Structure 1
Amino acid sequence: MADEEGAAVPPLMPSPDPFRIAVLGATGCMGQHICAAFTAEGSEVLAIARRHAPRVAAHRFRSLDVAGSTSEELARVLAEENIDVVVNATLGWGDELNYTNVQLVERLVGTLALMRTPPRLVHLGTIHEYGPVPFGTSIHEDTAPAPTHPYAKAKLTASRMVLDAVRNGTLDGVVLRVANTLGPHPALESFFGSLAVRLRGVEAAAGIGLTIADAQRDYVDVRDAVDAVVRAARVTRADPLVNIGCGQAMGVRRLVSELVMAAGLPAETIREQRGEVHSRGADWIQVDTSRAARLLGWRPRFTIGESMRAMWETVDADQSLPARHFG
């Protein structure tokens, strides 16, 4: 096995015992699923976020601004709680682009370096860190990152901090570069999450005018992505970088059709129109998942149809949508 720069690394070392898990960004789209998954496998979860939310009511919660705290403060919290694994599921857009995506990770890496017995770190990156690749390319972990979008650049900076710390022995950790997600309780900032909410409130006869990216991208069910997180928490001193996706690029138009079918609406409910598409993604994204299969024993389980049905069943027409969404 080798890391992003080709250095040899020790083999997979799974542990069967329950963990004490701290989930940063616990109230977010991924965070809430991660908390539930670790609880379901018998681990004790500490949900950490700046503000409490009903979606983490079933878990022990601690209010903490990780990016705004000192390394000493955060180290004290993790030590008091006897945390075995920290999962960083935070992300930020707009004004918080660097505060949440970069400053928080810098503080977290510094914190773990201070601790006598630091927890393992599972950091959620994004497949967009690689930037655009040639059509037909499957993105491997050794694909050279060249992002163009500010969000992807910020996430790449954070992932590199974690990878550098793992390589120099400062911490035990892994970066999962995850494709866009589908499935239950979607992020309303996402293209398909916002579309599902709009479809909930639409009259079929009226329809929805929609600008659709002329793109093919890899989408993975959020439940599959979270399964990879749980598995990565139990793999010590293995390759520190793993890509997670369904392994297939799919046309965005086809995915829109799948959501419309899941909603039980006629195809003509969507009226495609010209316009600008605000997107963090390249026109072609297809993830090579061979390392995830080899190291984590991980493969995606849910079909696109199952993901879209789960998404449809967990959104409401009265959910408030953000002013801007991303594809």
Structure 2
Amino acid sequence: MTKTVVLGATGCMGRHVCAAFEARGIDVVAVARRPAPHTAPHPFLALDAADCPQEQLAQILADQNADTVVNATLGWGEEQHRINVQLVKHLTGALQLLPAAHRPRLVQLGTVHEYGPMPHGTVADEHLEPAPRTDYARTKLAASRHVLTSDLDAVVLRVANTVGPHLTQDGFLGSLAARLARTTPGERIELTLADARRDYIDVRDAADAVVRAALTPTLAPDRRLFNIGSGTASPITDLVTALVTAASLPPDTIVLRPGEIRSQDTAVGADWTCLDTTRARSVLGWTPTHTLEASLRAMYETAA
């Protein structure tokens, strides 16, 4: 493999995917609507792939002569359908316009939330029938199904909740890390927390899974969907405690109130998520290497 095109290169996942390919000596072309400082080491294409005509997008991909295209884009709110569904359809359509012998492999990043709420204690493998309850999860599931039913050489990774360096501050943990960075000893922060346990994976481990999905030479038709997670449902209170420790603040900095978290990184009713990653481990040779404590420490350090 010599080159990879990464769509959504300016996002948290995208930046780590770019870095993971570069670490393997693979050239990266970063694609996003606007550049960011961390895309500077790579050739950059300013492109809105959701609105780009398929013929034009196909020509751009042909010109790059890449071995892999990674879709790490993500749409929230009003952008959900345009980014999560329309862009994927444009991308697969463009790839299908290329000669079959010159089509790059597509790695599509999905989400654990596609499965919808899980019964407490469930360890979900790829055979679990998805039943999402949020618009975000439904659009991501629509994209995954579109990719998996195409005739392309394509892989979908259903990624657990991510933690680690440069996590977006739009979500609960990212915003808390940034808040703790501004907190001094003696201050108190009141938090409303659900009694929830969820599967968390370091964004760098998820990026490694993307690279392995790109490099694995032959994938059977029924082995194109992979769960990427830790395989453990961690109490969210443990993550909060680990962030406080990373910030070198007293344990009583956080005052907990029972309730529900409502943020864009949490699906409705997702009080339990846990992924069976047996397939990714056996087929892709992938295994996570970062501990949750190390991931949260890195998250805090990059938020400070």
Question: What TM-score, normalized to structure 2?
Answer: 0.95
Determine helix, strand or coil for the equivalent of 1:46. strand
Residue of structure 1 equivalent to 2:103: 118
Aligned to 2:89: 106
1: CA distance, partners of 2:97 / 2:211: 25
Tell me which of 203, 224, 242 is aligned to 1:258: 242
Alignment pair present for 1:278 and 2:265: no
Matched, 1:157 2:157: no
**Matching residue of 2:302:** 314
User: Could you tell me how far 1:273 is from its partner in structure 2?
Assistant: 2.8
**2:182 matched to which residue of 1?**
201
User: Identity of aligned pairs, percent?
Assistant: 55
Residue deviations 1:177-209 (CA, integer Å, cap 9, x gap): 000111111111121111000000012212211
Task: Determine the structure 2 residue equivalent to 1:67.
Answer: 50
Deviation at 1:269, TM superposition (A): 0.6
Number of paired residues? 295
Alpha-carbon distance between aligned partners in 1 of 2:242 and 2:219, rounded to the nearest angstrom: 40
> For residue 323 of structure 1, what is the aligned residue in structure 2?
none
Q: Give 1:237 deviation, angstroms.
A: 2.7
The whole-number CA distance in structure 2 between the counterparts of 1:148 and 1:158 is 16
Report the counterpart of residue 148 of structure 1 in structure 2. Answer: 133
Q: Does 1:225 align with 2:206?
A: yes
Of the structure 1 ranges 63-72 and 266-275, higher mean CA displacement relative to structure 2 is found in: 266-275
Q: Deviations over 1:136-169 (max 9, x none)?
A: 010100000000011101100000000000xxxx
Give 1:65 deviation, angstroms: 0.4
Distance in 2, matches of 1:262 and 1:203, equals 13
Partner of 2:195: 214
Runs of 5+ in structure 1 lacking a partner? 1-17, 317-327
Preserved CA contact (<8 Å) 2:213 2:284: yes
Deviations 1:194-247 (A, max 9, x none): 100000001221221111121100000111111100000012333110000000
Aligned 8 A contact 1:19 1:85 in 2: no
- Indicate which of 203, 219, 228 corresponds to 1:244: 228
CA-based RMSD of the aligned residues comes to: 1.1
Partner of 2:276: 288
| Distance in 1 between residues matched to 2:17 and 2:111, nearest whole Å | 16
Conserved 8 A contact 1:210-1:271: yes
Offset, 1:275: 5.1
Counterpart CA distance in 2 for 1:96 and 1:275 is 29
Query: Amino acid of the residue matched to residue 34 of structure 1?
Result: V
Q: What is the Cα deviation at residue 38 of structure 1?
A: 0.6
1:271, 1:87 → 2: CA distance?
41
Alignment partner of 2:160 out of 149, 165, 179: 179
Secondary structure of the corresponding residue to residue 119 of structure 2? coil
Q: Secondary structure at the match of 1:83?
A: coil
- Mapped to 2, the partners of 1:22 and 1:300 lie a distance apart of 24
Matched, 1:30 2:18: no
Contact between 2:199 and 2:230, CA under 8 Å: does it hold in 1? yes
Name the CA distance, whole Å, in 1 between partners of 2:292 and 2:259.
26
Q: 5+ unaligned residues in a row in structure 2: which ranges?
A: none
Letter paired with 1:56: T
Partner amino acid, structure 2, of 1:284: W
Q: 1:276 deviation in Å?
A: 4.5
Secondary structure at the aligned position of 2:107 is classed as strand
Q: Give the secondary structure class of the aligned counterpart of 1:145.
A: coil
Q: Kindly provide the CA deviation profile for residues 58-110 of structure 1, in whole angstroms up to 9, marking residues without a partner as x.
A: 11100000000011011100101111100000001011010000000011111
Judge which range, 266-275 or 103-112, deviates more.
Answer: 266-275
